[in-house]
C-alpha cells in the first residue's frame, strides 16, 4: 500500500521532541525553532482587517501583485542582487519542495553541507536524487578543496543555508566567493535565507549578489513570528520560477490570502529591537556553555550546536537532559554524525538560563 519512496524518509526528529514536550509538565523547551515573541499587533490587525473585508479566497497562484512588487524591490535592495522573477510560496519549506521537484532528476546529485536543516536530504531522496554531504566539522566552514572534490558531472545543485540551522553559522562574503568560484554557472545554488534578519556581529551576504544562477528562498515566518501563517517567497531565474509556480497550482495552490495582505504591512515594520534581544540571547548561551562544551558562538539564526568537552555519548546526554525536563535535539537529526546537539535559544531569557544550568550540571555528573 505504501510507496517505496517512503522508506527513505524518517519522521522529523524535531517533531518527535515537539510531541514529547506536550507530555512533560513545565519543560525547559530549547528544542523548537520559532520565536518566543508574538506577531506585532500592527501586522495582526492587517490580517484581521483582510479577513473581515472578505479577502479569504484563493489568490493568484504566484501571490498578490501588491505584495510581490514591494517585496521584489526590498530584497533586491537588501540582497544587492537583481532577480528575474519573484513569487509567494507557502513558507520556505513549500519553496524547497517546489524547487527540488522542479529541478532534481533521479540520480542527480545535490551537495549539502553537513550539518544541515532536517528537510534537505529527505526531499532529495523523495525525488530519487542523491544527497552528497560536505563535512564542515568542527568549525562549520566550507573547505573549498573538499567542495571541489565533490563536484562532478552529476552535480545539479549546491544547497546553502546562511544563517544556518542548526549551527548558527553565517558565511562571510569571502567564503561565498570561494564557493561560487567553483561553480560553472550551470550548477544551481539554492540559498535558504529564512534567518537573514537574525545576524549578530557580522555582515550578511546573499550568494545571489555574487552568483546569478541562484534561487533565493526567504520568508516572513522567523523575522515576524508568522510561523503558522506560511508566507515565504522564491526569487531567481524566470525559467525555474515559472516551473515552480506551475507545480504550486497542483500542490499548495496559493499561500494563505489574509497572510499575504499582512505581509505587506510587515515589509515596513521595524524588528530591530527583537533582533537585538536575540543577539543578547546568543551571548547568554555562549557565555553559559563555553566552559563545559565546545561550541561556535552563534553568528546568526537562533541556534547553537554544542559538543560536550567530556567524552559522553550524545544520545545518552540528550536522554539525561530530557529526564531533567530540558528539551534539546540530538545532532544526528541534522547530520550524518552524532557528535553535537542542537539548542534553540528562541525562548525567554530565564528559560535559557535555567536550561544552561541544568545542562552544565548534567555534563559534570554524568
Centre a 10 Å sphere on the Cβ of residue 94 and count the other Cβ atoms it contains. Answer: 22
Domains and their CATH numbers in the chain: 4-39+271-365 (3.90.1150.10), 57-267 (3.40.640.10)
Say which DSSP state 343 is in: E
Q: Which residues on adjacent β-strands are paired with residue 304?
A: 343
Spatial separation of the C-alpha atoms in residues 95 and 89, rounded to whole Å: 6
Mean pLDDT of 157-178: 98
Helix 41-52 and helix 257-267, axial crossing angle in degrees, nearest 10:
140
| Residue 132 dihedral angles phi and psi, to the nearest 5° | -120, 115
pLDDT at 335 > cutoff 90: yes
Q: Which of 204, 184, 234, 228 shows the shortest CA–CA distance to 301?
A: 204
**Model confidence over 111-153: pLDDT tens digits?**
999 999 999 999 999 999 999 999 999 999 999 999 999 999 9
Say which DSSP state 296 is in: P
Helices in the chain by DSSP H: which ranges? 13-21, 41-52, 65-79, 91-103, 119-126, 144-150, 173-180, 238-249, 257-267, 272-289, 314-323, 349-365
What is the structure's pLDDT at 20? 63
Please, are residues 303 and 344 in contact by the beta-carbon 8 Å criterion?
yes
What is the structure's pLDDT at 5? 83
pTM greater than the 0.75 cutoff: yes
Q: What is the mean pLDDT of the chain?
A: 95
Number of H-type helices and E-type strands within the chain: 12, 14
Q: How confident is the model at residue 21 (pLDDT cuts 50, 70, 90)?
A: low
pLDDT at 231 > cutoff 70: yes
Tell me the three cell numbers of residue 161: 543555508
- How do beta strands 28-29 and 326-327 pair? parallel
Q: How confident is the model at residue 12 (pLDDT cuts 50, 70, 90)?
A: low
Strand boundaries in 147-260, DSSP class E: 155-161, 188-192, 214-219, 232-236
Q: How confident is the model at residue 360 (pLDDT cuts 50, 70, 90)?
A: very high
Q: What's the distance, CA 363 to chain centroid?
A: 28
What is the structure's pLDDT at 165? 98
What is the structure's pLDDT at 224? 97
Spatial separation of the C-alpha atoms in residues 334 and 347, rounded to whole Å: 21
Say which DSSP state 127 is in: T
Cis-peptide, bond into residue 138, ω within 30° of zero: yes
Which three-class secondary structure state does DSSP give residue 61?
coil
Q: How confident is the model at residue 14 (pLDDT cuts 50, 70, 90)?
A: low
pLDDT at 324 > cutoff 80: yes
Amino acid at each position: 500500500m505504501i510507496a517505496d519512496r517512503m522508506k527513505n524518509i524518517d519522521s522529523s526528529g524535531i517533531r518527535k521532541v515537539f510531541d514529547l514536550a506536550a507530555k512533560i509538565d513545565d519543560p525547559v523547551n530549547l528544542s523548537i525553532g520559532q520565536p518566543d515573541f508574538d506577531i506585532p499587533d500592527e501586522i495582526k490587525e492587517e490580517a484581521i482587517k483582510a479577513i473581515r473585508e472578505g479577502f479569504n479566497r484563493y489568490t493568484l497562484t504566484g501571490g498578490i501583485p501588491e505584495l510581490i512588487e514591494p517585496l521584489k524591490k526590498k530584497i533586491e535592495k537588501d540582497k544587492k542582487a537583481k532577480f528575474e522573477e519573484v513569487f509567494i510560496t507557502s513558507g520556505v519549506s513549500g519553496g524547497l519542495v517546489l524547487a527540488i521537484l522542479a529541478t532534481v532528476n533521479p540520480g542527480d546529485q545535490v551537495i549539502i553541507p553537513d550539518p544541515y536543516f532536517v528537510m534537505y536530504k529527505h526531499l532529495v531522496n523523495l525525488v530519487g536524487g542523491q544527497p552528497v554531504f560536505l563535512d564542515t566539522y568542527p568549525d562549520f566552514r566550507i573547505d573549498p578543496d573538499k567542495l571541489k572534490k565533490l563536484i562532478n558531472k552529476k552535480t545539479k545543485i549546491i544547497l546553502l543555508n546562511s544563517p544556518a540551522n542548526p549551527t548558527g553559522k553565517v558565511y562571510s562574503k569571502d567564503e561565498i566567493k570561494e564557493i561560487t568560484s567553483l561553480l560553472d554557472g550551470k550548477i544551481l545554488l539554492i540559498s535558504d535565507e529564512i534567518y537573514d534578519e537574525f545576524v549578530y556581529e557580522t555582515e550578511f551576504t546573499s550568494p545571489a549578489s555574487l552568483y546569478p544562477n541562484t534561487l533565493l528562498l526567504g520568508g516572513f515566518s522567523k523575522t515576524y513570528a508568522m510561523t503558522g501563517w506560511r508566507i515565504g517567497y522564491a526569487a531567481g531565474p524566470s525559467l525555474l520560477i515559472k516551473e515552480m509556480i506551475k507545480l504550486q497550482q497542483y500542490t499548495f495552490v496559493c499561500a494563505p490570502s489574509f497572510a499575504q495582505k499582512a505581509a505587506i504591512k510587515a515589509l515596513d515594520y521595524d524588528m530591530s529591537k527583537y533582533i537585538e534581544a536575540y543577539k543578547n540571547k546568543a551571548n547568554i548561551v555562549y557565555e553559559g556553555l563555553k566552559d563545559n562544551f565546545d561550541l561556535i558562538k552563534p553568528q546568526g539564526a537562533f541556534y547553537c550546536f554544542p559538543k560536550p568537552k567530556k567524552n559522553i555519548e550524545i544520545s545518552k546526554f540528550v536522554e539525561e537532559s530530557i529526564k531533567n525536563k530540558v528539551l534539546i535535539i540530538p545532532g544526528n537529526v541534522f547530520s550524518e554524525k552524532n557528535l553535537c546537539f542542537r539548542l534553540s535559544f528562541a525562548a525567554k531569557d530565564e528559560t535559557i538560563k535555567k536550561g544552561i544550568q541544568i545542562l552544565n550540571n548534567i555534563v559534570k555528573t554524568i
